[in-house]
Amino acid sequence: AGAGMEYLTSISTNPEIPFVNLTFQPIPRLLITGEYAHKVRTRATLNMTLPANATFDMVLAVYSPGQQAIIYNYLQERSVSLSMPYRLMRLSGYTKALFRQNLYENFNYNSAEWMVSGNYGKLNANVSHFVNWTSTGNPNIYANVAAGWRLNRNISLRPSAQYNYTSGNWISLRGEVEARLFSNGYASLRYENNFLAKTNNINLSFRYDLPFMSTSLSGGWGNRQFQAAQSARGGFAFGSGNRYVHADKRGTVGRSGIAINPFVDVNFNGVQDKGEPSTERIRVRCSGGQVVNREKDSIIRIVGLEAFTEYTLTLDESTFDNLAWRLPFKTIKLTTDPNQFKTIMVAVKPMGEISGLVTDELGNGIGRILVTFTDEAGQQVAKTLTESDGYYTYVGFRPGTYVVGVDTTQLRVLRMTAEPTQVKVNENVQGDLVEADVLTLIKQAPVIIEHLGDTASLQTNQDTLLQYYVLFDHDQTDVRAEYAGSMKQLALFLNTSPNFKLEIQGHTDTVGGAIYNQRLSLKRAGIVAQYLMSNGVKADQLSVVGYGESRPVNDNASELERAANRRVTFDKNIPGS
């Protein structure tokens, strides 16, 4: 959302125009934009991205009667369009259908267009059909056909024609050959037969392009007359920042530009304060114009834009050498103003990084432990898994105080405890680096239970048994090497307790069907049983059960949570209980 005030000296009365812009995305792939300029215009735009990269757009603009800010004398503007790229083997192209309606006080003006363009090797072609009609008149239907063929590196052939369906006559035929003579010099020979005006023309022209100007000299013969012309055009654009003057051989009067200035927002207030530096250049893509990058500053300039036109900018932060620098947004939609650069300040956030280690009571690092990060308001803002050596790191924290701990659900599954630790992320232009205290997993206090075997009574620590677990990769049943030590300890306990009966419980995440996951969980439990028997455990001490996806320890909302559900756990199995 945004708001402001525009002052137009071309309006004699009430030149101040307050305006409000609002953009929101109710669902993915749907963008709705609303604009209101007081006593000038109310405009709504809907943009939806469809499958196959198709795009659907709707625009409705209502103009205030008697407004003088925009030189239109119609009351409403409506349009709807559908565009889609296509590819068929080596043939690729683009098609677009558009309907536009302008409502005047006494009549409506309607226009429709259907365009198909294609490229095949060195050949490209474009066919456009147009229909214009009013509420009081008959339609005018015509078509333009154009093609381009690059014969070699320096010579191109461009034929075109216009045909009027309403009258059933050709409007014009035209052919042009252009040759590149040297680096910035071109020559072209053009012939045109205009049936409507009953003229034949042949023209020879030369063009030479300078960085700031395009010059041309031409001579032509038509209707028994010879005509010669020479021209030079170009322009300079000011106001993009750092005293830079942009020179353009295409002319700049009436056109628009955009200047994107990224800076490091150290204090996260969205404003470039004294001492906050500019960043490296970011990669920008625009739906029109030309992107200009300079070595002398990090401002990205987009030139050659049409005025009063909406453009979409896409920003890419992957060019930053510092991974802690994050963009506040990746897409910008804006409408350009004539004869000026519209400046956009992009407040790059230097996010903090928290790293640490999770160990057991002996100081050994433990892998695949889910570490959570909670802010001062008690909201969980991030989570990550430890690596196989127990270390973890996460980038993406605003300045503030955070509590770092082990996921409570996983602690319950493991029958362990871990004391959380507190860290503070400070403001830093490079992004603060914070190392948290070690998180130590501690076995819960032992509870002595009695298991009645068929011989003498046996006392054992149930929590010692239930600390064992095995996690699995997606759709896998192999016992990973990191669990070899704990499985051998469990096998040793069972070998020394021949009357103890163990239930092996298999589980899965929710990826896949319920029947498949039931079988997968049972297979995981069976694989673990075979692993224990290979270490001397008797088969009659073990029983296996598969619970599938029916007993999750969390919501399976992310890959981290699903990883915690792909598991095998253990419980005592007392006969007759």
**Residues 464 and 564 occupy one common structural domain:** yes
**Residues 310 and 420 occupy one common structural domain:** no
Mean pLDDT taken over the chain: 88
Torsion of CA 386, 390, 395, 399, to 10 degrees: 120
**Residues 434 and 515 occupy one common structural domain:** no
**Residues 293 and 402 occupy one common structural domain:** no
Domain count, the chain: 4
**Residues 484 and 374 occupy one common structural domain:** no
Euclidean distance between CA atoms 411 and 49, whole angstroms: 43
Q: Please check whether residue 171 is in contact with residue 194, taking contact to mean a CB–CB distance below 8 angstroms.
A: yes
What amino acid occupies position 96? Answer: K
Please name the residue that has the structure tokens 């677990």: 469
Per-residue pLDDT, 575: 56
Which tens digits make up the pLDDT trace of 410-424?
Answer: 887 777 899 999 999
Band (464; pLDDT cuts 50, 70, 90): low
Residue 515's contacts (CB-CB under 8 Å, 6 or more residues apart) are none
Answer whether residue 24 shows pLDDT above 90.
no
**Residues 467 and 563 occupy one common structural domain:** yes
Query: Does some domain include residue 186?
Result: no
Which tens digits make up the pLDDT trace of 33-89?
Answer: 999 988 888 999 999 988 888 899 999 999 988 887 777 778 999 999 999 988 888
Query: Does some domain include residue 500?
Result: yes
Euclidean distance between CA atoms 344 and 332, whole angstroms: 10
CA distances (Å), 227 to each of 89, 194, 204, 569, in order?
A: 47, 17, 11, 93
Q: Is the dihedral of CA 381, 382, 383, 388 positive or negative?
A: negative
Residue after which a domain boundary falls, among 304, 328, 350: 350
Range of the domain at 29: 1-108
Euclidean distance between CA atoms 567 and 477, whole angstroms: 10
Q: Record the pTM.
A: 0.54
**Residues 558 and 469 occupy one common structural domain:** yes
**Residues 335 and 369 occupy one common structural domain:** no
Per-residue pLDDT, 577: 46
Answer whether residue 449 shows pLDDT above 60.
no
Work out the widest C-alpha separation in the chain, in whole angstroms: 124
Per-residue pLDDT, 467: 62
Which tens digits make up the pLDDT trace of 201-247?
Answer: 999 999 998 888 899 999 999 888 899 999 888 888 999 998 899 98
**Residues 323 and 269 occupy one common structural domain:** yes
Torsion of CA 207, 209, 213, 219, to 10 degrees: 0
Interior/surface letters 28-40, b for 16+ CB within 10 angstroms, e for the rest: eeebebebebbeb
Euclidean distance between CA atoms 255 and 340, whole angstroms: 8
Residue after which a domain boundary falls, among 442, 473, 492: 442
3-state helix, strand, coil in the chain (%, to 5): 10, 50, 35
Which tens digits make up the pLDDT trace of 517-575?
Answer: 999 999 999 999 999 999 999 999 999 999 999 999 888 888 878 888 999 998 887 65
Residue after which a domain boundary falls, among 77, 108, 139: 108
The CATH number linked to 297 is 2.60.40.10
